[in-house]
């Protein structure tokens, strides 16, 4: 677990990227909980709320990775499977 956390921290060094991730990551399980609650209540017509929360979460994380200059974890996995080059940890470009 420590190695995973150290690797994650190395990929999120810029303070703005880190802040975006600290806001965005909890949104993912919140979207799942919101979807489950809405489905249990029969509120199918509110599908856009958990989908929007999920999309906003990934948008914020994507912005963070653009700031960092590296690829998102899911993108790295797909690129690895396809044999494509990827940027796991970008060279430090900021002070």
Percent of the chain clearing pLDDT 70 (strictly above): 97
Low-confidence residues of the chain: pLDDT under 70: 93-95
Residue 90, domain member (yes or no): no
Give the model confidence (pLDDT) of 66-85 as tens digits: 999 999 999 999 999 999 99
Sign of torsion over alpha carbons 66, 57, 51, 71: positive
Q: What is the pLDDT of residue 33?
A: 97
pLDDT at 28: 96
The predicted pLDDT at position 93 comes to 67
Contact 11, 89 (CB under 8 A): yes
Q: What is the pTM of this model?
A: 0.86
Q: Kindly state whether residue 58 falls inside one of the protein's structural domains.
A: yes
> Would 73 be classed as within a structural domain?
yes
Structurally, how many domains does the chain consist of?
1
Phi, psi of 92 (to 5 degrees): -70, 120
Decide if 1 is inside a domain: no
Q: Taking a C-beta distance cutoff of 8 angstroms, is the pair 58, 75 a contact? A: no
* Per-residue pLDDT, 94: 58
Distance CA 56, CA 39 (A): 20
What domain range is 27 assigned to? 7-82
């Amino acid at each position: 677990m420590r190695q995973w956390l150290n690797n994650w921290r190395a990929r999120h060094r810029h303070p703005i990227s880190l802040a975006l991730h600290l806001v965005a990551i909890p949104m993912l399980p919140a979207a799942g909980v919101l979807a489950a609650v809405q489905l249990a209540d029969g509120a199918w017509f509110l599908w856009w709320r958990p989908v929007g929360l999920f999309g906003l979460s990934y948008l914020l994380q994507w912005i963070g990775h653009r700031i960092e200059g590296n690829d998102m974890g899911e993108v790295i996995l797909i690129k690895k499977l396809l044999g494509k080059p990827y940027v796991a940890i970008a060279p430090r470009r900021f002070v």
